[in-house]
Every structure is written in structure tokens, then in C-alpha cells.
Amino acid sequence: MEIGLVVLWLAAMAGLTVVAAPFSALLLSPLSDRGGTLALPVALAVLGVTSYWVGQVAFGWPGVVATLVVLGGGSAVALSRGFEPDWRRVATGLAVFTVGFGLVVLVRNAQPAVVAGGGEKYLDFGLLKTLVRSTELPPEDFWYAGDRVQYYYGGHLVSAQLATLTGIAARYAYNLALATFYGALVTAAFGLAWNVAAERDLPRLAAGTLALFFVGFASNLTPLARLVVWLLPESMKTPVDTNPDRPGMEGIEALGATWSKFSLASGPDSFNYWPASRVIPNTINEFPLFSFLNGDLHAHMTSTHLLMLAAAVAFAYWLTPAAQVWRRRVYLFVCAPVLAGWLAIVNTWSYPSVAGVTTLAVIFAAPHPASVYPARVWDRVEAAVEGSSVAAEATRLLAAGTVGIAVGVGGFLFALPFFTGATSGQSLALFPERSGLAGLLLVHGAFLLVTVSYLAPRIRPGRSLDLGFGAPVALLALAAVANALVGWVPVPTVAVALVGVAALTQLRDGDLLPGGVLFGLAVVLAFAAGDAAMRLGVYGATLFVAVGAVVADLDEETRMVALTAVGFAVFAGIAWLLDAVVLAAVTPALVLGWILLRLDRDLGYETVLVVAAIGLVTMVEFVYVSERAGSGRFNTVFKFYMQVWILWGTAVGVMLTDVVARQWPEWSIGDRLAARRGSDKARLLRAGAVLFAVVLVVSTSLYGGLALASHFDRHDANTLDAKQWTQENYPDQYAAIEWLDEKEGRPVVVERPTTVHIYSINSPATPLVSGVSSLTGLPTIAGWGHASNYHTEAGWQLRMAEVEAVYEGQVEYQGETITRAAVLAKYDAQYVYVGPHERQHYDVSGLSEAQGLTLVQTFDDVRIYAVDQSALDRSAQKQSAQQQSALNRSSLAVGAEESRLRR
């Protein structure tokens, strides 16, 4: 291991933390630790934001210097105003970061390579290299010469800036940056949980440590399921072979896995780290430990600490007194939009989540959301809702919604330079293939169990929903949810009639509340039964009840019931138009409303995180982004489930601490005497709470223990050099690539694109995926086929033909002739690379005699030709330029038609 580089990098992170600590104290002063544990995530966010905007003019050192000025100036202002950081908590956060950073450093030291199988490391390394080479933003796309990068590259931007700050080469910075983002994630989770626990008067260290564990180390329940099946008698075991032909699975053999032979009953000896991330069919269900073990420097990993920081900013708003209007405005209209916009550049999938988390915090925080409006507007709102709890609640929701919209719009404006250059290749789609109940429980079961354990003691008996119908409503609703998850099972019409009669009975007796709820359930059952007339009748009755409940101006105790009834009506209206979603949308809403109505109001910010996480889980069951990167909701679940994990995992750290801690009284003298006389039931509850926590931690640790043991057993590279594997296995190609990597600027190098499946290799010639451009950051005409996903397929196919023309002299494409001279001139190419991959696909015999090409380097089976633009055939160049213009116009027309069809 390169110990000196690790120490240097860690020292740089410590320096950024110390410089940022007072600024973090100013920004997050409402938190109990004054932002001390979150100082490093704040520093990384400022580094990214500042470098991005300065980089529009000059990227690299100017952005680094500007960052230090911003952090130093902000900290100086903070200290001058008395915002002294809690240095002990700063040290605590830095210690947590060091532990997380060190773990991933050890993991990458054993297997540091940029390889093709199982991920997109060549894309990530190429983005890092191209940004290290860039002098301004946006960077040129190394897989699409002459065009800007269309991918979200913010995490790679920060990695490049850290490499610039430390002077460490990208081949090492790749793995050090990977460790940094993991360390920042667990630090942010620890810090947020610490502060939430402090506000809830819970043990802070326990909550922070548990959040760190659940976010950074825990896994889903798949390994536990494997262990249980393995322990069963042989007669009860049913091997479950997986499908190696599923999308994205082809490259697994490169990682040494026998995927097609994997089964639940195979036992720990055959453990493989991959299957736990592919639980729900046709989706990706990654969690942080899997992702960082796999080792991509990918957007869903480089953005996690920023989403945690956005949640911390929302929590700071939550804690800010109503009187401090300007501070609350800064959180909502400056900090949140900036973080949303920066996240759009780092990982666009997380951009809307900032608006969502902020909106939830604003809804449930004590101050009315409209109080951040101008004083005249707030005075009018306050006067309008006085004496009406329903009106107050309605304006709260409306005002919070406008704040969320403002955050989203502000984030869009912040990232406008990024959005204006992006190619539209995505569109929203509805009703994907839904998840099965087993898959959902395996992925979310551990967190769900803690959530239920946390909420259950807060359920109060004796509310109006228990008037003879509470249990039937709950059972019927849960049965309908099971139906929705497992499959469509027709519900007999008689069930609708029974529930309808019960609802009418309640209404007849003047019990508006349970009558409205039962009508909501009747809507669900009516749509399932398929009787159109019954649907219309129940929908109309439900709408009548909902409107009546609102008009009745219910008191504080029942105001949420009225809003829930309105929600039923809205869902029913949607169901009237979109029949298929009723069981999965209306019924969970019914169950959730029924539970929330019976909860005490002592829920804290941890509940906001849970609602945000469950909201994302629910959303991807109905809506997804249709794109070329994956069929159906494959990529949508992938990108949102990582956000679900870190939000829910942080909340679970607080909730599990509450579950255990509430079994112990405060240890005053009187309480000690009471504890000695405590009942056996109390002792049993304490033991049960501790046992529950221990079992949960152990069961979700199985994956981490087995995965790390397997990783270190299989790999022992003992270096952080991401290029070492290429150097050892393909020395000639490595030498040629390094020769090109030493060139100044951004000369265009022509190489054969990688065209096979996205996670596969260029077999049999070389497993380097567009190796020259990916490992140097130098632009090439056409790189990995993945580039077609975020440019256009037609454009990429044209470039494929142009590359072929360079190697073979000329080709016919769509009735036109493309010549070598025209292509080399069009892209101002300076080098042509000829290796095993190029020889496998092209006849390159004519290159040695081609006009304008000179052989400048030979590395055994690799040749590099320099291009003399002045020596190219000008007449052929002029003739082909006209033909290329026609081809480009055709390509643009095809691309526009593709976008129109997608929309």
C-alpha cells in the first residue's frame, strides 16, 4: 500500500474539516453539536459548488483556491460573530470519517483495479481523468470527441479537485476518492443521527453508531435467508438457480462468480457478494457496503453524503425557532436549492429528493410554512385560518408545497448550465412490473421491523376508529395490500356490500369519521370486484363524505381525518381513470391514515426520514423513468433505492436507540429503588429490547463479515494503483496508453469503440473498455456503447461508421461515402491507435501507407500513428465535408424524432 499517499490524502481531509468547522457551526448552529460532526461533508459540498461555478471560466487550481477562500472567509465571519465550533464533535466526526475511509482503503488496496466486469469503472475513471485534464467546464466527452459530457459528473469533479489539491495522480486518486465518499457518507449519517437523538433526549453516541452501522455496513436480509435455508434439513431445501441471462449479469464471470450455480441452499462456503444486490427481479437493490465493495466511483455513491447534508439542513430548519424567520428563509431558499442543484450535477436522481425531504420537514416542523413568506402575506394567511383547524392544516400543506416547488426551481436554476447541455433521452412512464412481497420484505424487512417496533408503543387505543369496526378495517386493508403485492386476486362483490352496509350504519348513527373511512375501503374493494356501476356509486358516496367532513370544520382532534378522506377521494378519482393502481395505492393510504390517526404527536425528525424513504419505495412501484440505460424500471429502482437505504438507515439508528433506551428509567436514586422493585415484565421487556437489537445487528452483519472475508481471501494486490491490473496483464497496451497519457492538452485519439453489452468486455482481444480514452481521459471519436444512452443512438452509429473509415480508408453509410481524410479533419484527430481490438475488427493494412499518417511508436503488438493534418488529401477532405454535412443533418433529424417519440 502507498502509505504516504494515504496519509497525505487524509491530512488534506483533516485540513478541510478544520477550515470548514466554524463555517459549519454558522450554517448548522441549531444542531446540538453546532455542525461539528458534519464539517467535512460541508467542506466537500463547498468544494464542489465553488469549483463548478469557477470552473465555467477556469477549472482546476482556481476552483481549489476559491474554495479555500470561501471556506476560510465563511469561517472567519462565523468566528467574528461568536459561532465557535464544538471542536470535540469536530474531532468525533473526523474520527468516524477516518474509520470509514480506512475500511474502504483496505478494501481497494486488495482489489484496486479498473476492470470491466460488474460495473462501470471505465466510465468513472475516464470521467475522473478527463476532468483532471480539463481547464474549463463543461468537460469534453472522452467517448464523444467534440461534444460536452452529457453524464452527471459532479462527484468526479470533486475527486479531480481533491487530486489537484493533494497532487496525487488519478490512478491513486480514484480509490482514495472512493474511500472519501464512503467516509463522508457514514460521517454524515452518524452526525445527523447524533443530532436527532440529542433533540429527542436519547443516547447520542448509540444513535450515531447504529446509524453508521445500518447505513455503512448492514445489508438486507438475503444473507440471513440463505443461512436459514442452509440450516434446514436436506429434504426441505429447494435450490434456487438464478438466471445468468438477466440484464447486467453477463460480466459476473469476470469477477470469479459461478452465478448460474448459486442457490439459497449452498451455504456460506459458496458465498458471493453479488446476489444480495439483485433481490427484486429486473431491478437493482444496492446498499452502500455492496456498492463500495464493488468499487465503482459512480454517481449513486458520490452523492450520498450530499443527500444526508440536505437532510441535516432540513433538520436545522426544523429546530430553528419561528422568530428566526431569516435563518429559516436561508435554509429553504438558499441552502436547499443550492444543494438540490449541486446534486443534479452529481447525481440527477437525487435532485428531486432534496425538494421532497425539505417539503416534509416544512410540513411537520412547528412553525407554519407560510410564516417564511413576506410579512404581509403571512398576516393575511394567519387571519384567514384563525379559528379553523382544517383551514390551517390545508394552508400548511399548500404553503409547504410551494416551498418544495421553490427548492426544485431554485435547484434547476443553479444547475442550468448542466441541464441546458443535456440530451433528452428519458421520459416518465407509469405502472412498471411491481415488486413481490417476498422481495420487498427481503430488501426492506429489517428497517421495517425497527420502524414498527418504534411506532407500536405510540399507538393509542380508544379512538373513534375502534367503534366496532377497527379490527375488520385493519384486517381487510392488510389483506388487500397483500393482494396488491402478490398479484391481482378478484375480491367478491359481497365484500363490497358488507363494507358498504357497515359504512352506511356508521353514517346513520352520525359517526361521520368511521363511515368515511369504510367508504374509502369500499372504493378499493369495488374497483377490485370490477363492477362499473358499483364503482361509480361508491366513488360518489366517498366524495360526498369527504367534502362533508371538510365543510364540517372539524376540531383539532379530527382534522387529519378530514384530510385523509379527501385523500381517499383523490385516489379514487385517479383510480376511476387509471383502474390498475387502486389496490396498491388507495389501500396502503387507508392503512397509513388509520395508523397515523392513532399515534401520539411525539414523533420527531426521524419520522420525516422514514416517510421520505417509504415514499420513494412507493413511488417506484407506480412511476419510473423510461430510458435506454435499462429496460422498465431497472435503473429507476437502482438509483432511488440507494437513497431509501441511507435515509431509512439513519432513522433506524435513532429509532432502535429509542426502542432499547425507553426500557430503562433515568438512574436517579428514586428510580434505582423503583428499578429494584421492578416487575418481571419490566425486566423481560429490557432483556427483549436488548436481544432484539443484538439479533438485528448480527443478522444484518452476516453479509459484511462474509463479503469482506471473501474479498480479502480472493484479492491481495497490495496497492491503490487502479492501473496496475492493466500493467500486469496487458503490458504492451498499457505502455502505449501511458505514452499517450503523457501528452499535454486533449489531443483526439482514434480507437475502436467497445460495442458489446454494457458490462461485458472486448473478448477475445482485450478486456479494456475503450481503454485508450478511458484510461487517459483523451477524447476519442466513439467510445463505449454506453455513450449512446446519453447522446443519441443515431449519432453514435454515425461515429461508428466514421471510425471504421479511419481504419479501412472509406466506408459506405446510408448511401454516402465516408473517407479517412474527412473524418480525421472533422475531429482534428492527432493519433490513431492500432491494437489487438482494432486488428480483430478492421483491415488495418492500409494505415502504414495512408497519406497524412506516420508511425511514431511501436509497443510489440500496438502501433500508434500520428496525424499530420496539413498532409491530408485536401480535395478528398473538401468533397467528404459536404457528404458529412448531409449525414449530420440526417443524424440530427433521427435524434429529434427519437426524442419526440419518447416524450
User: pLDDT tens, 736-746?
Assistant: 999 999 999 89
Predicted pLDDT of residue 697: 94
Residue 662: band (very low, low, confident or very high) from pLDDT cuts 50, 70, 90:
confident
What do you get for the CA distance between the two ends of the chain, in Å?
50
Lowest mean pLDDT segment, chosen from 132-136, 456-460, 612-616: 456-460
Q: CA 653: distance to chain centroid?
A: 19
Residue 901, pLDDT above cutoff 60: no
3-class secondary structure per residue, 391-430:
HHHHHHHHHHHHHHHHHHHHHHHHCHHHHHCCCCCCEEEE
Short-list 595, 597, 604, CA closest to 452? 595
Short-list 759, 777, 125, CA closest to 767? 759
Report pLDDT digits (tens) over 300-356: 999 999 999 999 999 999 999 999 999 999 999 999 999 999 999 999 999 999 999
Report pLDDT digits (tens) over 823-879: 999 999 999 999 988 888 888 888 888 888 889 999 988 999 999 888 786 645 554
Q: Are strands 829-834 and 862-867 parallel, antiparallel or unpaired?
A: antiparallel
Residue 571, pLDDT above cutoff 60: no
Report pLDDT digits (tens) over 9-31: 999 999 999 999 999 999 999 99
Q: Is 573 helix (H, G, I), strand (E, B) or coil?
A: helix
Residue 665: band (very low, low, confident or very high) from pLDDT cuts 50, 70, 90:
low
Predicted pLDDT of residue 472: 41
Q: What is the DSSP letter of 335?
A: I
Choose the most confident range, by mean pLDDT, from 154-168, 396-410, 531-545, 712-726.
154-168
Distances (CA, A) of 486 to 430, 440, 572, 614, 616: 19, 11, 22, 19, 20
Q: Please state the rounded mean pLDDT for residues 877-888.
A: 52
Choose the most confident range, by mean pLDDT, from 4-18, 390-404, 417-431, 836-850.
4-18
Q: Is 613 helix (H, G, I), strand (E, B) or coil?
A: helix
Q: Which residue has the cell 467516509?
A: 183
Q: In the structure grid, which three cell numbers stand for residue 172, read together?
A: 491513486
Neighbours of 685 (CB within 10 A): 14
Predicted pLDDT of residue 888: 54
Cα 765 to Cα 454: distance, rounded to the nearest angstrom: 56
**865 DSSP β-pair partners:** 832, 855
Q: Please state the rounded mean pLDDT for residues 199-213.
A: 94
Predicted pLDDT of residue 467: 33
Choose the most confident range, by mean pLDDT, from 226-240, 615-629, 758-772.
615-629
Q: What is the DSSP letter of 332?
A: I
Q: In the structure grid, which three cell numbers stand for residue 510, read together?
A: 352520525
Predicted pLDDT of residue 788: 78
Cα 536 to Cα 579: distance, rounded to the nearest angstrom: 12
**% of the chain exceeding 90 in pLDDT:** 44
Report pLDDT digits (tens) over 225-261: 888 777 766 655 554 444 444 433 333 333 223 333 3
Question: Dmax over Cα atoms in the chain, in whole Å?
Answer: 102
Short-list 399, 334, 311, 331, CA closest to 363? 399
Residue 129, pLDDT above cutoff 70: yes
CA atoms within 13 A on the CB side of 902: 17
Residue 3: band (very low, low, confident or very high) from pLDDT cuts 50, 70, 90:
very high
Q: Please state the rounded mean pLDDT for residues 699-723.
A: 91
Lowest mean pLDDT segment, chosen from 221-225, 258-262, 471-475: 258-262
Q: Please state the rounded mean pLDDT for residues 689-703.
A: 91
More confident residue, 250 or 772: 772
Cα 363 to Cα 641: distance, rounded to the nearest angstrom: 24
**766 DSSP β-pair partners:** 762
Total residue count of the chain as it appears in this document: 903
Lowest mean pLDDT segment, chosen from 382-386, 602-606, 632-636, 888-892: 888-892
Cα 319 to Cα 59: distance, rounded to the nearest angstrom: 37
DSSP secondary structure string for all residues of 793-847: HHHHHHHHHHHHHHHHSEEEETTEEEEHHHHHHHTTEEEEEE-HHHHHHS--TTG
Residue 586: band (very low, low, confident or very high) from pLDDT cuts 50, 70, 90:
very low
Q: In the structure grid, which three cell numbers stand for residue 625, read together?
A: 423513468
Q: In the structure grid, which three cell numbers stand for residue 477, read together?
A: 386493508
Beta strands in 66-219 (DSSP E): none
The burial of 235, by beta-carbon neighbours within 10 Å (0-12 exposed, 13-18 middle, 19 or more buried), is given as: exposed
Short-list 621, 652, 304, CA closest to 446? 652
Element containing residue 863 per DSSP (H, E): strand 862-867
Residue 160: band (very low, low, confident or very high) from pLDDT cuts 50, 70, 90:
very high
Q: Is 626 helix (H, G, I), strand (E, B) or coil?
A: strand
More confident residue, 223 or 156: 156
Choose the most confident range, by mean pLDDT, from 98-102, 691-695, 813-817.
98-102
Residue 106: band (very low, low, confident or very high) from pLDDT cuts 50, 70, 90:
very high
More confident residue, 186 or 543: 186
* Residue type (1 letter), 262: F
Neighbours of 339 (CB within 10 A): 29
- Inter-residue contact 165 to 312 (CB < 8 Å): no
- Inter-residue contact 300 to 291 (CB < 8 Å): yes
Short-list 599, 552, 604, 560, CA closest to 396? 560
Predicted pLDDT of residue 765: 56
Residue 704, pLDDT above cutoff 90: yes
- Inter-residue contact 807 to 850 (CB < 8 Å): no
Predicted pLDDT of residue 470: 38
Q: Which residue has the cell 440530427?
A: 892
Residue 531: band (very low, low, confident or very high) from pLDDT cuts 50, 70, 90:
very low
Q: CA 602: distance to chain centroid?
A: 30
Lowest mean pLDDT segment, chosen from 200-214, 607-621, 700-714: 607-621
Cα 789 to Cα 531: distance, rounded to the nearest angstrom: 44
Q: Please state the rounded mean pLDDT for residues 751-771.
A: 69
Predicted pLDDT of residue 353: 93
More confident residue, 224 or 75: 75
The burial of 357, by beta-carbon neighbours within 10 Å (0-12 exposed, 13-18 middle, 19 or more buried), is given as: buried
Cα 541 to Cα 431: distance, rounded to the nearest angstrom: 27
CA atoms within 13 A on the CB side of 854: 10
- Inter-residue contact 296 to 114 (CB < 8 Å): no
Distances (CA, A) of 262 to 240, 276, 485, 498, 855: 7, 12, 26, 48, 50
Residue 502: band (very low, low, confident or very high) from pLDDT cuts 50, 70, 90:
low
Close Cβ partners of 570 (under 8 Å, ≥ 6 residues apart):
none
- Inter-residue contact 643 to 353 (CB < 8 Å): yes
- Inter-residue contact 673 to 242 (CB < 8 Å): no
Residue 596, pLDDT above cutoff 80: no
Predicted pLDDT of residue 668: 38
Q: In the structure grid, which three cell numbers stand for residue 705, read together?
A: 463479515
Cα 392 to Cα 455: distance, rounded to the nearest angstrom: 26
* Residue type (1 letter), 358: T
Predicted pLDDT of residue 411: 94
- Inter-residue contact 335 to 343 (CB < 8 Å): no
- Inter-residue contact 349 to 612 (CB < 8 Å): no
Residue 33, pLDDT above cutoff 90: yes
Q: What are phi and psi of 832, to 5 degrees?
A: -120, 120
Residue 732, pLDDT above cutoff 70: yes
Predicted pLDDT of residue 550: 41
Short-list 275, 296, 292, 293, CA closest to 284? 275
Cα 626 to Cα 846: distance, rounded to the nearest angstrom: 44
Predicted pLDDT of residue 246: 40
More confident residue, 383 or 644: 644
Lowest mean pLDDT segment, chosen from 133-142, 430-439, 488-497, 618-627: 488-497
Close Cβ partners of 737 (under 8 Å, ≥ 6 residues apart):
726, 771, 772, 775, 776
**% of the chain exceeding 70 in pLDDT:** 71
Mean pLDDT for the chain overall: 78
More confident residue, 805 or 491: 805
Q: Please state the rounded mean pLDDT for residues 595-607.
A: 62
Residue 209: band (very low, low, confident or very high) from pLDDT cuts 50, 70, 90:
very high
Q: Please state the rounded mean pLDDT for residues 511-529.
A: 56
Q: In the structure grid, which three cell numbers stand for residue 461, read together?
A: 387505543
Predicted pLDDT of residue 410: 94
Close Cβ partners of 846 (under 8 Å, ≥ 6 residues apart):
808, 809
Cα 190 to Cα 14: distance, rounded to the nearest angstrom: 17
Predicted pLDDT of residue 242: 41
Residue 505: band (very low, low, confident or very high) from pLDDT cuts 50, 70, 90:
low
